[in-house]
């Protein structure tokens, strides 16, 4: 029983770590988008408003991927172990 609980806790922690890898993508993408926007504004300053608004919208959409990964990781750390341990205990009764 204790080994099964330890496996559940380890799997949840491993899953949370893997979920947080998804935070790397939005960071790289947003950095690239901001860099390209600065380059475009430097070449054509008159289109600053359009480029900035489009860049901010894209960054906001990209950031949701990281937030979803954070929510999944928090659920895997704090909620899932209790649910899975209760399922295990109910199955053994």
Q: Tell me the pLDDT of the chain averaged across its residues.
A: 92
Contact 59, 53 (CB under 8 A): no
- Rounded Cα gap, residues 7 and 3, in angstroms: 6
Burial state string for 27-60 with b = 16 or more CB within 10 A and e = fewer than 16: eebbeebeeebeebbeeeeeeeeebeeebeeebe
SS3 assignment, position 1: coil
Residue range 20-54, pLDDT digits in tens: 988 888 889 899 999 999 999 999 999 999 999 99
User: What pLDDT score does 32 carry?
Assistant: 93
Domain boundaries, the chain: 2-92
Asked if residue 93 has pLDDT above 80, the reply is: no
- Helices and strands: H and E segment counts in the chain: 4, 0
What average pLDDT does range 1-8 have in this prediction?
Answer: 91
- Mean pLDDT on 50-62: 92
Superfamily assignment of 2-92 in CATH? F1F0 ATP synthase subunit C (1.20.20.10)
Q: What is the pLDDT of residue 78?
A: 95
pLDDT, residue 65, reads: 87
Beta carbons within 10 angstroms of residue 63's beta carbon: 15
Task: Calculate the dihedral angle through the C-alpha atoms of 30, 33, 34, 39, rounding to the nearest 10 degrees.
Answer: 160
pLDDT above 90 as % of the chain: 73
């Amino acid at each position: 029983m204790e080994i099964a609980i330890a496996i559940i806790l380890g799997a949840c922690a491993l899953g949370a770590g893997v979920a947080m890898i998804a935070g790397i993508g939005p960071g790289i993408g947003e950095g690239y988008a901001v860099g390209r926007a600065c380059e475009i504004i430097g070449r054509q300053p008159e289109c600053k408003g359009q480029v900035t608004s489009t860049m901010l919208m894209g960054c906001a959409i990209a950031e949701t991927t990281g937030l979803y990964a954070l929510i999944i990781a928090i659920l895997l750390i704090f909620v899932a172990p209790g649910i899975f341990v209760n399922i295990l205990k109910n199955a053994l009764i």
